[in-house]
Structure 1
Amino acid sequence: MNRAQLGAALRALRVASGKEAKVVARGALMSPSKLSKIENAKLAAGAADVERILTAIGVSDEVKAEYTEAARASATEATAWRLLKRIGVHKGQQATKALEAQMSTLRLFQPALVPGLLQTPEYIRAVLQRHNLSEDSLSRTINGRLERQAILYDNAKSLRFIITEPVLRWRIVPPQMMAAQLDRIVSLSRLSHVDVHIVPLRIQQHDIANHAFVIRDDRMVTIETVHAEVVVTDPRDVRLYVEKFEGFERVAWSGDHMRGLAESIRDDFLREQETG
């Protein structure tokens, strides 16, 4: 769990408790300003800070132990996936949901997988099965991701996705399920506040699709690597990712051109299913 996820989770727990920030801050022996900075990922919370905040909120000892461990480990393991797996992958979905609830604009670039918010349940299961989760943890994590997708229907948010064409052809699930996944992308792209771009293979490129990243409100970037999740908050670095996103957005297809490409790939999968 990274700094942003931990801060969002602490804020969500405080709001759920019904306690005002100033009351929790006083109980945690810190200023309201410090609590605000921790909740908004502007300040890293130490294990002692987290323990005092959760004590002031009044959570169970089990919850307190989990989040205190996350804060203690973050200094050495940063956002290693093994830490999240120990705590519970489904809790990472809860923390991300809390983070997304606070943002107004999301920009996501994905050269490897269909973005989680756009995934079908079958695609989600196929992606998560790589992590050797128990069936209970797998089901809870799938449900957590599906619950996050409610944000797609919040027209107060601006959601912008850029996907490279190989993502649509990468066989995570069987052909019929891939066709259904492409149908879902096309359908969601028609929502007024959801903007989906596809970078086609036939277009000459001038940049490299290095890795996936998510920009939230021009203040934080989340990057997924093989072993961990990295959070960038320095405005100078955030700007680099904004510029990269905008560069791909300029050459990507949207609207009817995007939907025509996605539907063409979908039809290829359907024909394969019929003749297979």
Structure 2
Amino acid sequence: MPSSPSSSVVEARKALARRLKDLRKDAGLTGEELSVRCGWGASKTSRIQSADRAPSESDIRTWCTACGAEDQIPDLIAAARAVDSMYTEWRQLERNGLRAAQESVTALYERTRLIRVYASRVLPGMVQTREYTAAVLRSIQRDRVGVDDVDEAVQVRMDRQKALLSGRHRFGLLIEEYVLRAAVCDPEAMADQLDRLMSVSARSFVSLGVIPLGAGRSCLPAEDFYMFDDTEVAVELTSGYLRITQPTEIADYDRAFNNLAGMAVHGAKARALILSALDALG
């Protein structure tokens, strides 16, 4: 499994390692004896037990068989797959194109009632215009995706946006002022995008905060993250997509969001920053 900075991933790996270690102990085997039965070196057993090495599905089958615990194989493999799903490299997530990547999160958005977003690089997808989305996804496609299905991916996001803005969901959006001024697309398209942001921010179920460039900071800008109710956080890392489900870590992001909200301006002051970015486009 790829390494990641998330304690959720680390703790899940340790929990799986503890379960395998307990199976060995319950079978009355030493690490050396288990290694002999599995047909591999003692160092491999030690690294799996200490969570320094993620066991493959074949390793889990071999381990359980050696311990006489074949009935545990399906559950442990399911646990290992769950750990793997916490962190996904972009090249894996997007290997079949950007449309599939967009579709993979549709159900998560649909079942969430409160979506909170911190955006430090690009505007959140639910407030993007078609032209802005196309520019963002085209840049991604050129950089790391071999399949060119940008038009289809844009349509998936636009369809999801209609459902999200129907009034059945609530949004808390925090945007760095830099994002309002970043030249993601041509000036005319960017002006349309800022007009769109103004319009969406006026809706009763949307709370928009803009963090001014000169704001005093109690915390530094972070990677963009999306909070889905209080059950999951998605973090867009440079290398991949991180799913956080551990309650203590979700609480950390909740505190971070509140800290960032305290640095933001809202209402008329936020709209003034959007208008200032519009004026700068000429």
Could you tell me the TM-score, scaled by structure 1's length?
A: 0.68
State the Cα distance separating 1:134 from its structure 2 match. 6.7
Write the deviation string for residues 135-190 of structure 1: whole angstroms up to 9, x where unpaired: 85111101011111113423221111100000111111112221111111011001
Which residue in the other structure is 2:35 paired with?
none
Q: Is the 8 A contact 1:108 1:161 kept in 2?
A: yes
- Which one-letter code corresponds to 1:194 in the other structure? V
Change (3 A) 1:248 1:77: closer
- Which one-letter code corresponds to 1:138 in the other structure? V
Q: Is the 8 A contact 2:172 2:206 kept in 1?
A: yes
CA distance in 2 between partners of 1:72 and 1:202 (Å): 44
Question: After superposition, where does 1:1-276 map in structure 2 within 5 Å?
Answer: 75=84, 78-130=87-139, 131-132=141-142, 133=145, 137-269=149-281, 271=282
Change (3 A) 1:255 1:88: same
Change (3 A) 1:251 1:134: same
SS in 1 for 2:213: coil
Change (3 A) 1:92 1:216: same
CA distance in 2 between partners of 1:76 and 1:200 (Å): 36
Q: Which has the larger radius of gyration?
A: 2
CA distance in 2 between partners of 1:135 and 1:226 (Å): 20
Identity of matched residues, %: 30
CA distance in 2 between partners of 1:77 and 1:217 (Å): 18
Which residue in the other structure is 2:17 paired with?
none
- Which one-letter code corresponds to 1:251 in the other structure? M
Structure 2: segments with no counterpart, 5+ residues = 1-55, 58-79
- Which one-letter code corresponds to 1:229 in the other structure? Y
CA distance in 1 between partners of 2:154 and 2:201 (Å): 22
Q: Is the 8 A contact 2:97 2:147 kept in 1?
A: no
CA distance in 2 between partners of 1:247 and 1:180 (Å): 30
Question: For the aligned residues, what is the CA RMSD?
Answer: 2.3
Which residue in the other structure is 1:22 paired with?
none
Change (3 A) 1:153 1:75: closer
Change (3 A) 1:80 1:193: same
- Which one-letter code corresponds to 1:147 in the other structure? D
SS in 2 for 1:142: helix
Change (3 A) 1:120 1:94: same
Could you tell me the TM-score, scaled by structure 2's length?
A: 0.67
How many correspondences in the alignment?
202
CA distance in 2 between partners of 1:88 and 1:175 (Å): 28
Q: Is the 8 A contact 1:179 1:267 kept in 2?
A: no
